[in-house]
Amino acid sequence: RPPDNRDPVSDEVAQCEPYLLRQLEIIEPTVICALGRIAAQTLLKTGESLTRMRTQVHDYHGIPMVVTYHPAALLRNPNWKRPAWEDVQKLRALYDERDERD
């Protein structure tokens, strides 16, 4: 995160994004879990809220993607742990489903 836990500005995101995209290209993930609003908004190229993005499974270049809370947010807001666990269960189900097809 940038200093003082502020959101990164567009130039900072633009500098880091190619590295993230290259990692995804190398790893070839079966499913993706975007941890937090900034990660999800960057990958999905959207300004939607985290709450809204969490309501569905997204398609990221043919890879299913689940959005959930950033781990630091869970430390600040323990009441979000249950919804985050539900997101992880959704992610696992997607993984298992894709694994069965392969």
3-state secondary structure of 2: coil
In the beta sheet, which residues pair with residue 64?
Answer: 59
pLDDT in tens, 24-83: 999 999 999 999 999 999 999 999 999 999 999 999 999 999 999 999 999 999 999 999
Q: Tell me which residue has tokens 């997101």.
A: 87
The predicted-structure confidence for 51-67, as pLDDT tens digits, reads as follows 999 999 999 999 999 99
Q: What does pTM read for this prediction?
A: 0.87
Largest Cα–Cα distance in the chain?
Answer: 45
Q: Are strands 63-68 and 58-60 parallel, antiparallel or unpaired?
A: antiparallel
Q: Which residue ranges make up each domain of the chain? A: 30-101
The structure tokens listed for 52 are 């809204």
Fold classification of 30-101 is Uracil-DNA Glycosylase, subunit E (3.40.470)
| 3-state DSSP helix/strand/coil % of the chain, to nearest 5 | 60, 15, 25
